[in-house]
Structure 1
Amino acid sequence: MTRLDDKIAVVTGAGRGIGRAIAEKLAAEAATVVVSDVDEASAVATAHAIGGKAVGLRADVASTESVEALVGDVRSRFGRIDVLVNNAGWDKAEPFLDSRESDWERIIAINLVGTLNTTKAVLPLMVEQGSGSVVNLGSDAARVGSSGEAVYSAAKGGVVSFTKTIAREMARHRITVNCVCPGPTDTELFASIGGDDPKLRESLTKAIPFRRLGDPQDLANTVAFFASDEAGYITGQTVSVSGGLTMS
């Protein structure tokens, strides 16, 4: 028997990168996965690759209306949501003094407000069910700071704090809420913010005790644990998946 039998899981930003790896892992653990992404084509392609009952649906987490439509669609199809993974994110790396307010707004809208929107839409179903698991994707940038990612660090810091508070509020409903913080992970997003620079990759690799960048599967494994009943007595926790780069 696999860990997520009969569970309905919604994963945001799951068309590629860490989100796709999470969706694939939850499906491998027998969950029915709703692959959500602002890029509908990538969501549908990922769901098709997963197969089974997986479905790909478009949703813009920064839009309350879009998120509510997503949750309504999932409820009409499956009747419940057991797992929510708030993975959708975006960043633009540059010194804070060079940054523009329009980019601040987008970073905060996707990373922080997006998590608020989706959680607000899904929690009433979980409260009604008397069970559920929410896993938020934070960042080690939130825990220790990261040069060139000031606003992203602030937004993800908000996600970490939000996780703890909602965990307290939802405990009486037997809903767990935890946060997984990736360290430097080999994804398209990482490459787009400078991770394709060989010198940066080399310096980061040397700084990581395990001497390698994270792989999306490393994050997916941790998320799958938090989503399972095995983590049923763990809530309000923040875990770094960083090969030892961040220890606390």
Structure 2
Amino acid sequence: MGQHSDQDKTSQQPCAVVTGGARNIGQAIALRLQQDGYRVIVADIVAPEAGSLQEDAYQVDLADANATRRVMEEIAERYAVSRLINNVGIVAPALLEEARLEDFDKLMHLNVRSALVCTQALLPTIKAQGMGRIVMNASRVVLGKEARTIYSATKGALQSMARTWALELAEHGITVNCVAPGPIATSAFWQNNPPDSERARRIIDNIPLSRMGQPEDVAQAVSFFCDERSSFITGQTLFVCGGVTVG
């Protein structure tokens, strides 16, 4: 990773942390927040693909609570963070009978526990800014989807934590909201639903807007929640789904 300056707390540029920001939806969020004027710090197990994200990136296994806490405390010392996007997440598709306990632990640690660890570590510096925005990347699976027992449990947990945090942090001017993507064209989606498969065709046919979502569509929603002008919206979930969740 690039050189991390110790002088960054004196900068007037607002800082945002994006977990899992090296690829796919996380990368789109990170790049959009850069366009919006934020200094973006990516934390991910791999280095960012986008050159503009590499200087302020930290490589860390976010499933490792101790390593994650150390990195977040270092970020809190160096940057005046006011936005946190708890985006990192993996899927382990399986029907109920085939859901594995080791996958339950793995997804809960990465998808949910990392959000708690990151938020706890960064909260003092966010409070110090006098306002803040925390955004969770949930999923439309919180409404139910076959073969997503464990994944939907993690995303539902994030949504519930967000509502609790919204109440606890409101007095500090910190809002907490969720984006809940539907079918988004990422490498992970195509891995689980090969483009020429019957399953992929069925998914696309069921999208009222008749197209797959793009990572930038999710980034647009995150950008909205991160805006200073979105200060009266908290504890909410915005579905970015092309209409899949309607009706």
TM (normalized to structure 1)? Answer: 0.90
Write the mapping of 1:146-185 to structure 2, written as runs, cut at 5 A.
146-185=145-184
Map Cα deviations across residues 183-241 of structure 1 (whole Å, 9 max, x no partner).
01111111222354532221111111101111000000110110111211111100100
Map Cα deviations across residues 143-174 of structure 1 (whole Å, 9 max, x no partner).
x2111111100110111111000000000000
Partner in structure 2 of residue 232 of structure 1: 231
Write the distance in 1 (CA, Å) between the matches of 2:238 and 2:101: 30
How many Å apart are 1:105 and its aligned residue? 0.9
Write the distance in 2 (CA, Å) between the matches of 1:156 and 1:238: 11
Comparing 57-66 with 157-166, greater Cα deviation is found at 57-66
SS in 1 for 2:78: helix
Partner in structure 2 of residue 27 of structure 1: 34
Q: What is the percentage of aligned positions where both structures have the same residue? A: 33
Please tell me whether residue 241 in structure 1 is matched to residue 227 in structure 2.
Answer: no
Q: How many correspondences in the alignment?
A: 236
Letter aligned with residue 10 of structure 1 = V
Partner in structure 2 of residue 70 of structure 1: 71
Higher helix share: 1
Map Cα deviations across residues 34-61 of structure 1 (whole Å, 9 max, x no partner).
011012xx33x43x2447xx51111222
Write the distance in 2 (CA, Å) between the matches of 1:215 and 1:27: 18
Write the distance in 2 (CA, Å) between the matches of 1:195 and 1:163: 33
How many Å apart are 1:30 and its aligned residue? 1.0
Which sections of structure 2, spanning at least 5 residues, go unmatched? Answer: 1-11
Partner in structure 1 of residue 8 of structure 2: none
Q: Is the 8 A contact 1:185 1:215 kept in 2?
A: yes
Write the mapping of 1:40-189 to structure 2, written as runs, cut at 5 A.
42-43=47-48, 45-46=49-50, 48-50=51-53, 54-78=55-79, 80-142=80-142, 144-189=143-188
Letter aligned with residue 131 of structure 1 = M
Letter aligned with residue 65 of structure 1 = N
SS in 1 for 2:193: helix
Map Cα deviations across residues 70-111 of structure 1 (whole Å, 9 max, x no partner).
222223332x11100000000111212112111111111111
Q: Name the CA shift for 1:32/1:102 in 2 (closer, same or farther; >3 Å).
A: same
Q: Is the 8 A contact 2:42 2:56 kept in 1?
A: yes
Map Cα deviations across residues 124-152 of structure 1 (whole Å, 9 max, x no partner).
2222332110000001001x211111110
Q: Name the CA shift for 1:104/1:196 in 2 (closer, same or farther; >3 Å).
A: farther
Question: Structure 1 runs of 4+ off > 4 angstroms?
Answer: none
SS in 1 for 2:81: coil
Partner in structure 2 of residue 223 of structure 1: 222
TM (normalized to structure 2)? Answer: 0.90
Letter aligned with residue 246 of structure 2 = M
Q: Is the 8 A contact 1:63 1:117 kept in 2?
A: no
